[in-house]
């Protein structure tokens, strides 16, 4: 997508600075990218199409996504502020509470997202809120391995 297309899909991007940080690729999605995995697609479906952590329910629910990220060390936290020694993930849900997107916080406090099969972008957290991804419903954090 070019910038104008992104802005038509995510109109809140026009209110803050953002940057396209990678070319389009179908190799991974936002959930994988937030988890630090750029080699496979993460989604709770059976079969070989997508990866999902073992022993986590194959459900498109906020609870299942929290458990999936919990399997790699993330735990719920109360805010999206930068915390020294931690990395954070934001989970977005639609109006029915179904997970739609995940973003990962960068060391500078901005966020990085993979937009489906499209590009990765750097953005402000609320810039992707709206009709497509809904709203941020949960912030998770884990200690950074240094």
Give tens-digit pLDDT for 36-50.
999 999 999 988 789
pLDDT score of 2: 53
pLDDT band per the 50, 70, 90 thresholds, residue 6: confident
Cα separation, 2 vs 55, in Å, equals 39
Structural domain count of the chain: 1
What's this model's pTM, rounded to 2 decimal places? 0.94
pLDDT band at residue 5 using 50, 70 and 90 as cut-offs: confident
Is the pLDDT confidence value at 127 over 60?
Answer: yes
pLDDT of residue 46: 86
Q: Which residues form the domain of 35? A: 3-143
Contact 111, 122 (CB under 8 A): yes
CA distance 124 to 76: 20
CA distance 144 to 85: 5
């Amino acid at each position: 997508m070019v910038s104008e297309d992104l802005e038509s899909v995510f109109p809140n991007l026009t209110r803050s600075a953002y940057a396209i940080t990678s070319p389009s690729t179908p190799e991974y999605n936002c959930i994988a990218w937030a988890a630090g995995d750029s080699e496979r697609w993460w989604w709770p479906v059976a079969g070989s199409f997508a990866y999902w952590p073992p022993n986590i329910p194959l459900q498109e629910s906020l609870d299942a996504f929290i458990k999936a990220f919990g399997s790699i060390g993330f735990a719920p936290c109360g805010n999206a502020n930068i915390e020294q020694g931690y990395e954070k993930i934001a989970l977005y849900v639609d109006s029915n509470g179904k997970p739609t997107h995940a973003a990962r916080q960068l060391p500078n406090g901005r966020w990085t997202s993979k937009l489906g099969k499209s590009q990765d972008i750097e953005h402000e957290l609320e810039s992707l809120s709206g009709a497509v991804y809904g709203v941020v419903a949960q912030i998770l954090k884990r200690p950074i391995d240094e």
